[in-house]
């Protein structure tokens, strides 16, 4: 894996200033903003269930970066300046040693164009080069006459620190963009070519040791904890919480806290971890959605039970919470396939919750005697 999770896309210039206005952001605003967030490609990678889907997502990223790279190609001076960090991203450790030993004055330089203001430190953490990071941060690596130190808290143009870039999804690393993915024979999913171990935990430890601020937020409000939880990286989440427990209830610009993401992933272990660190499990986001409501919407009856058995998810009162639990339990497995009248193919409708989905739900049970009918996707109707 590159480091651990995902990022970046061009999504337009929509700007939300939620804290300065009482107006709620629209769904369109949120979608535009999310395409500029680290979460967008992280979730895209996490939701890909086949190697083909992962490759398709990688090709989408490569197409975007080819457009960005043209900016650098059209400017020979910019291309020459960006050559060093790009070569280091591809694993040129000789060039990294040369930069540290002979060009230390450039160690905190922000490279422009398609590199979006990233420093060498950003690039090393994005690719997951733990050995290179140790060399950079070792005071014995530089000349004794150099007084400048590596600044771990420099932000790139997306307001991302090197700590956030430790959670780069495999298909978003420079290595993968240049050499592609290969299919793992055991899991059938994509891994970078060439393969490298997951170094996120060691990289995070080292950055925290050298003074990086884990409370820093990016342009869409997420902290490093949001990325760790979204990636299902429990060890990294625990490291961050031990350093700064206040992170547990930090909200992004949609009001989502780490507990919302853990419930969305159905990750019981991380939910337990967050609760142990005093996560406010009753907190709604800015759309007034609580973690319990997230679990109910996903029809995740195990998570609903998990939250209610802890007697922590009582934001709407015991009676309403128990009703939500009962509804989720009744809806489990109650999916019926239909042919979309609008030509969208087969979709699945839940007879209890009246929810429609394009993909077959995990709890869908096929009835061999059922004769498929036609209906309109998205409409609530009685079965």
pLDDT tens profile 118-139: 999 999 998 889 999 999 999 8
Same domain, 20 and 165: yes
Same domain, 201 and 341: no
Distance between CA atoms of residues 204 and 5, nearest Å: 13
Same domain, 53 and 191: yes
Distance between CA atoms of residues 338 and 346, nearest Å: 6
- 229 contacts 262 by C-beta, under 8 angstroms: yes
- 189 contacts 51 by C-beta, under 8 angstroms: yes
The percentage of the chain sitting over the pLDDT mark of 70, rounded to a whole number, equals 75
* 85-111: average pLDDT: 90
- pLDDT of res. 260: 93
Name the more confident of 236 and 192. 236
Q: Rounded to 5, what percent of the chain is helix, strand, coil?
A: 50, 5, 45
Asked if the bond preceding 194 is cis, omega within 30° of 0, the reply is yes
Name the residue range of residue 112's domain. 1-212
- 121 contacts 89 by C-beta, under 8 angstroms: no
Of 197, 212, 227, the residue that ends a domain is 212
Residue 254 lies in a domain: no
Residue 141 lies in a domain: yes
Residue 260 lies in a domain: no
Distance between CA atoms of residues 176 and 9, nearest Å: 17
Of 168, 186, 212, the residue that ends a domain is 212
Please report the beta strands in 105-224, taking only residues with DSSP state E, as ranges in sequence order.
181-183, 190-192
Same domain, 208 and 344: no
Same domain, 208 and 340: no
Residue 375 lies in a domain: yes
* 178-203: average pLDDT: 74
Overall pTM surpassing 0.75 (yes/no): no
Distance between CA atoms of residues 53 and 273, nearest Å: 31
What is the Cα gyration radius of the chain?
A: 23
- 199 contacts 235 by C-beta, under 8 angstroms: no
Domain count, the chain: 2
- 280 contacts 259 by C-beta, under 8 angstroms: yes
What are the two backbone dihedrals, phi and then psi, of residue 339, each rounded to the nearest 5 degrees? -95, 125
Residue 249 lies in a domain: no
CA atoms within 13 A on the CB side of 35: 15
Mean per-residue pLDDT over the chain, rounded: 78
- pLDDT of res. 64: 62
Residue 48 lies in a domain: yes
Residue 112 lies in a domain: yes
- pLDDT of res. 124: 93
Same domain, 343 and 208: no
Residue 10 lies in a domain: yes
For residue range 280-336, list pLDDT tens digits in order: 888 889 988 888 888 888 888 888 888 876 654 444 445 555 566 666 666 777 889
Of 158, 179, 212, the residue that ends a domain is 212
């Amino acid at each position: 894996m590159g480091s651990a999770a995902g990022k970046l896309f061009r999504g337009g210039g929509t700007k939300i200033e939620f804290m300065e206005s009482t107006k709620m952001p629209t769904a369109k605003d949120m979608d535009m903003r999310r395409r500029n967030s680290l979460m967008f490609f992280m979730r895209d990678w996490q939701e890909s269930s086949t190697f083909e889907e992962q490759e398709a997502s990688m090709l989408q990223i490569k197409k975007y970066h080819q457009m960005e790279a043209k900016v650098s190609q059209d400017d020979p001076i910019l291309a020459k300046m960006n050559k060093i960090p790009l070569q280091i991203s591809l694993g040129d450790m000789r060039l990294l040693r040369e930069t540290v030993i002979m060009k230390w004055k450039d160690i905190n330089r922000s490279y422009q164009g398609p590199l979006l203001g990233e420093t060498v430190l950003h690039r090393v953490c994005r690719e997951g080069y733990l050995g290179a990071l140790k060399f950079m941060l070792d005071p014995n690596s530089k000349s004794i006459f150099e007084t400048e130190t590596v600044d771990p808290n420099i932000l790139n143009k997306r307001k991302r620190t090197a700590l956030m870039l430790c959670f780069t999804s495999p298909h978003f690393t420079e290595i993968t963009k240049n050499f592609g993915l290969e299919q793992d024979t055991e899991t059938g999913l994509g891994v970078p070519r060439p393969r490298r171990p997951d170094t996120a935990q060691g990289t995070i430890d080292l950055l925290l040791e050298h003074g990086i601020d884990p409370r820093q937020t990016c342009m869409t409000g997420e902290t490093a904890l949001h990325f760790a939880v979204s990636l299902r990286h429990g060890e990294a989440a625990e490291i961050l919480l031990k350093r700064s427990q206040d992170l547990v209830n930090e909200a992004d610009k949609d009001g989502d806290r780490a507990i919302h993401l853990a419930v969305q992933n159905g990750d019981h272990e991380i939910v337990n971890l967050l609760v142990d660190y005093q996560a406010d499990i009753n907190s709604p986001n800015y759309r007034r959605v609580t973690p319990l409501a997230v679990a109910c919407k996903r029809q995740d009856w195990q998570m609903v039970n998990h939250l209610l058995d802890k007697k922590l998810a009582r934001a709407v009162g015991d009676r309403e919470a128990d009703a939500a639990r009962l509804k989720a339990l009744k809806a489990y497995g109650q999916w019926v396939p239909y042919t979309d009248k609008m030509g969208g193919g087969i979709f699945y409708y839940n007879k209890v919750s009246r929810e429609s989905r394009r993909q077959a739900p995990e709890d869908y049970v096929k009835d061999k005697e059922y004769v498929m009918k036609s209906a309109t996707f998205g409409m609530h109707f009685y079965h």
